[in-house]
Amino acid sequence: MNDVLFFNGRWTTTDERVLGVEDRGFQFGDAVYEVFKFLRKRPILAIDHFRRLDRGLREIDIRNPWNESGFLRTVDELLDRTIFDDGIVYIQVSRGEGERAHFYPDNMPPTALMYTRRFKFPDEVKKELGIRLITAPDLRWKQCQVKSVNLLPNALAKKRAQRKGADEALLVGDGEVREGASSSFFVVRAGRLITHPLDEHILAGVVRDRVIGLALAAKIRVDERPLREAELFDMDEAFITSTTMGVMPIAEIDGRVIGNSRRGEITTRLQRLFDDLEMSEMSQQRRETTVSDSPPRRR
Ligand code: PLP
């Protein structure tokens, strides 16, 4: 269904074909993106997403068209205009439009867009039963901390998972388990969480960061270290995290049942804690959301 679209400073709808054929996002994948969730027209963790967008743009030397308050004003206006109550906001910033050439001029005016999409978030049954994963080789580039629009390896890995009756692909490189094709990955072993450290092999998931904070506050130890693929045979629970899935238990990896085939105790606790955090974000008043939102745990 078509809805409101912010495009380079003006408001239109997704009916309008706005993008130039020589936009560098289209021609070169020269762009970064963000996705965040909204519930009852309130943005969830929008500041965390803005900060990651800003870091990604800096890393690839694209000017951020927004500062934090300008971004939040655009988000508020978008959510005032949307016809949906709940859904996701997709944001993309490319280097801009110009005659096709690998060399690009310095300081090109970026292309900035933002629009809403309806989204069916997982229901209680799905959140209890969890999802199936397959392992797949990590064929992505070496700067996975940048949320680049170049998602071909991710899309191919997810399609491979779907063809095998699974929901997500777990990307493995050099014998180490990195993350899901569109999610962060956690294992629970002996009451502790294990997840890949923040480096160029993974995206700094917004939910990952918040879940680590919630776990630490609940006195659950967190080891941020690479997990060898062989260790996938030795775990009590596993879950993925993402903006659209929240904390989602993993029922199977490559056809092997995880834990005792039921949602694990620690996964359940963290799922509830994260759901509560989203609910409290949703119920904040607009001024509070934009001005005194609790900062992310760390960069
Ligand atoms: N890792 C990858 C590769 C992703 O694409 C995503 C989300 O799209 C995530 C992790 C989860 O990030 P977030 O929690 O910010 O949604």
CA 269 centroid distance within chain: 21
Cβ atoms within 10 Å of 144's Cβ, excluding its own = 21
241 lines ligand 1 (CB under 6 A): yes
Domain ranges for the chain? 4-118, 124-281
Ligand 1: which atom is nearest the Cα of residue 154?
3
Which residues in the chain show pLDDT less than 50? 287-299
pLDDT given for residue 285 in this prediction: 63
- Atom 12 (ligand 1): residue with closest C-alpha? 205
The residue whose CA is least distant from atom 2 of ligand 1 is 182
- Residue 239 CA to residue 247 CA, distance in Å, equals 7
Give the residue, out of 156, 183, 247, with the most ligand 1 atoms within 8 A of its beta carbon, to mutate for a pocket test: 183
**242 CA to centre of ligand 1 in angstroms:** 5
Fold of 124-281: D-amino Acid Aminotransferase; Chain A, domain 2 (3.20.10)
- Residue 130 is encoded by which pair of tokens? 């969890």
What is the structure's pLDDT at 289? 46
pLDDT score recorded for residue 282: 93
- Choose which residue among 185, 243, 248 to substitute to test ligand 1 binding: the one with the highest number of ligand atoms within 8 A of its C-beta: 243
Is 164 a catalytic site residue? no
Beta bridge partners of 131: 250
Q: What is the CATH number of domain 4-118?
A: 3.30.470.10
Distance CA 144, CA 167 (A): 21
Show the CA angle centred on residue 212, arms to residues 263 and 48, nearest 5°. 115
The closest-lying atom of ligand 1 relative to the alpha carbon of residue 241 is: 14
Per-residue pLDDT, 129? 95
> What residue owns the CA closest to ligand 1's atom 5?
182
Please report the pLDDT score of residue 286 as a whole number.
61
Q: How confident is the model at residue 213, as a pLDDT?
A: 98
Cβ(82) – ligand 1 distance below 6 Å = no
**How confident is the model at residue 14, as a pLDDT?**
96
CB of residue 182 inside a 6 A radius of ligand 1: yes
Cα–Cα distance for residue pair 247/56, rounded to 1 Å: 24
pTM, rounded to two decimals? 0.95
Q: What is the pLDDT of residue 294?
A: 44
Q: How far apart are CA 287 and CA 256, in angstroms?
A: 48
